[in-house]
Amino acid sequence: MLLPLFPRARYFADFLTPFEGVDGLEPALEAILATPDGQVNHEMARAARASRVPSWTSRVAEKPLRGDLVNLLRAYHRTVIAPHEEDIQETFQAERARHARNMLAEGTAGLLAGLSPAVRWRHPVLEVPDYPDENDVRLNGRGLLLIPSYFCWKSPIALADPGLPPVLVYSVHHVLTAACPQNEAALNALLGRTRAVILRAAVTGVTTSEAARRAGVSSGTATHHTTALRDSGLITTHRNANSALHTLTTLGAALLGRGAGTMTAGRGAPSGEAEGRSVDSVYDCGS
């Protein structure tokens, strides 16, 4: 139900990303429910022109269907987002600290210049060169709300309706680990080679048997090492029937981040056609 409403397309309805979201999930969901029917119909008709959507989406203005949508958004958040909320919040805290340092050192110009590699500050204009279409957003004294997004990996986006409060949604600085022989040796010396191999394997999730194969040890020995890593707070284990999936904790990810070269990254999302959200390009953003 959610995919047709939030497509990787030239446009999706602005009422689904309400300004009230600055106060949290529940105020945003209440705003979705309270959106006037006429606005919902207008925006859903525009979405239907921008991409192929199921016929039922034209009835989203109906209160029972919108209630189902809100319940599903709440359930999706609980299932998909909430388990990772600690990591997401840590990323946001780092983003705030980075911008605060730029603001203190270089003022507003420094803050805007350091937002993202995808934007460029040339007083008095904030340029986003990668927008597929050229559009101007004129603030007219209204100010600009900057929204770092954990899910927007490429071009920043803005709302399509120029009458809405001006916002710019842009990607936080994500960090990926890159192999470095010297640091790899240091991590091996700290944890021991077997535990270091298993910890690295847990970046993408690893079962005990997979960890054993990666490290070249028996399943019993792998279990001993995963237990030690879990007891140290470096991995967490999710059990399902007869298997156990080991994944990194925030502490484990931080250790690997220090034990390997780091680089900021923007995932190459599929490029799509863009018209949309005023300054366009919503196709590579999830929320």
- Residue 285 in any domain: the answer is no
Q: Are strands 261-265 and 174-178 parallel, antiparallel or unpaired?
A: antiparallel
Task: For residue 130, name the pLDDT band (cuts at 50, 70, 90).
Answer: low
Q: Which of 115, 148, 172 is the last residue before a domain boundary?
A: 172
Q: Are 127 and 111 in contact (CB under 8 A)?
A: no
- Same domain, yes or no, for 220 and 155? no
Q: What is the pLDDT of residue 9?
A: 72
Instruction: Say yes or no: 166 and 194 in one domain.
Output: no
The Cα 237–Cα 223 span in angstroms is 11
Instruction: Indicate whether 269 belongs to any domain.
Output: no
One domain for residues 91 and 78 = no
Buried b (16+ CB within 10 A) or exposed e, 172-184: bbeeebeeeeebb
Q: pLDDT for 105-124, tens place per residue?
A: 889 888 888 887 778 888 88
pLDDT band at 52 (very low <50, low <70, confident <90, very high): confident
Last-in-domain residue among 83, 117, 138: 83
Instruction: Provide, rounded to the nearest whole percent, the portion of the chain with pLDDT above 90.
Output: 29
Q: Which residues of 188-201 are buried (b: 16+ CB within 10 A; e: fewer)?
A: eeebeebbbbbbbb
Which residue type, as a one-letter code, is found at position 29?
L
Helix (H, G, I), strand (E, B) or coil at 268: coil
CATH number for position 189: 1.10.10.10
Q: Which secondary structure element, helix H or strand E, spans residue 125, and what is its range? A: strand 125-127
In this predicted structure, the answer to whether residue 148 has a pLDDT above a threshold of 90 is no
Q: From residue 26, give the alpha-carbon distance in Å to each of 46, 75, 276.
A: 26, 12, 26
Q: Are residues 59 and 92 in the same domain?
A: no
* Same domain (yes/no): 166, 206: no
- Which has the higher per-residue pLDDT, 91 or 190? 190
Task: Output the pTM of the full model.
Answer: 0.55
Q: What residues have CB less than 8 Å from 46, skipping those under 6 apart?
A: 11, 13, 160
- DSSP string for residues in 32-76: HHHS-HHHHHHHHHHHHHHS---GGGGGTTSHHHHHHHHHHHHHH
Window from 68-72, 116-120, 201-205, 274-278 with minimum mean pLDDT: 274-278
Q: Where is pLDDT greater, at 169 or 26?
A: 26
Indicate whether 276 belongs to any domain: no
Same domain, yes or no: 18 and 64:
yes
103 domain residue, yes or no: yes
Task: Indicate whether 212 belongs to any domain.
Answer: yes
pLDDT above 50 for 273 = no
**76 shares its domain with 94:** no
- Residue 278 lies inside a defined structural domain of this protein: no
pLDDT at 133 over 70: no
Pick the residue with more confidence: 266 or 83? Answer: 83
Does residue 107 form part of some domain? yes
Distance CA 199, CA 256 (A): 8
Whether the ω angle into residue 129 lies within 30 degrees of 0, i.e. cis, is: no
Please enumerate in sequence order all residues whose Cβ is within 8 A of that of 45, keeping only pairs 6 or more positions apart, or say none.
58
Of 120-129, 159-168, 175-184, 236-245, the range with the highest mean pLDDT is 120-129
Q: What angle do CA 287, 31, 158 make, to 5 degrees?
A: 40
Q: Which domain holds residue 69?
A: 2-83
Same domain, 14 and 51: yes
Greater model confidence, 12 or 277: 12
200 and 129 share a domain? no
Average pLDDT over residues 84-88: 82
Tell me the average pLDDT of the chain: 79
Q: What is the pLDDT of residue 223?
A: 94
pLDDT of residue 179: 46
Which bin fits 2, alpha (ψ -120 to 50), beta or left (φ > 0)? Answer: alpha
Statement to judge: residues 196 and 165 lie in one domain: no
User: What's the pLDDT band for 178 if we cut at 50, 70, 90?
Assistant: very low
Min mean pLDDT across 21-30, 203-212, 267-276 is at 267-276
Residues 74 and 108 in one domain: no
Is 110 part of any domain? yes
| Least confident window among 37-51, 91-105, 124-138 | 124-138
Query: Averaging pLDDT over each range in 44-58, 63-77, 140-154, which range is the top one?
Result: 63-77
Return the minimum-mean-pLDDT range out of 128-132, 165-169, 248-252, 265-269. Answer: 265-269
For residues 74 and 21, state if they share a domain. yes
Residue 144 has which token pair?
């600009």
In the chain, how many domains are there? 3
